[in-house]
Structure 1
Amino acid sequence: MTRRSCPCGLPQPYEACCGRYHSGAAAAPTAEALMRSRYCAFVKGDAGYLLRTWHPRTRPGTLELDPGMRWTGLEILGTGGGSAFHSAGTVEFRASYRGGSLHERSSFERADGAWVYVDGEFPA
Structure 2
Amino acid sequence: MQCPCNSNKKYSDCCQKAHQNINSVASAEALMRSRYSAFVLANVAYLQKSHHSKTRPSNSENKEIEKWTKSVKWLKLEVLKTTNGTANDTIGTVEFKAFFMENGAINIIHENSKFCIENNYWVYVGANNECN
TM-score of the aligned structures, taking structure 2 as reference length: 0.85
The equivalent of 1:84 in structure 2 is 87
AA partner of residue 72 (structure 1): L
The alpha-carbon distance between structure 1 residues 26 and 16, as it changes in their structure 2 partners (threshold 3 A), is farther
- Structure 1 moving runs of 4+ over 4 Å: none
Name the % identity. Answer: 40
Contact 2:22 2:121 in 1 (8 A): no
Match of 2:20 in 1: 23
1:5 maps to 2
**What is the Cα-based RMSD across aligned positions, in Å?**
1.3
Q: Residue in 1 aligned with 2:54?
A: 57
SS at match of 1:116: strand
2:71 matched to which residue of 1? 68
Q: How big is each residue's C-alpha offset from its partner over 1:25-57, in whole Å with a ceiling of 9 and x where there is no partner?
A: 752100000000000000000000000000101
Does the 8 Å contact 1:20/1:26 carry over to 2? no
2:18 alignment partner, SS class:
helix
Structure 2 matches for 1:82-121, cutoff 5 A? 82-98=85-101, 99-121=106-128
Structure 2 regions of 5+ residues with no counterpart? none
Count of aligned residue pairs for this structure pair: 118
Residue 29 of structure 2: aligned partner:
32
Superposed displacement of residue 11, structure 1: 1.3
State which drifts further: 38-47 or 56-65. 56-65
Q: Which runs of 5+ in 1 are unaligned?
A: none
More helix by share: 2
Q: Is the 1:92–1:105 Cα contact (8 Å) retained in structure 2? A: yes
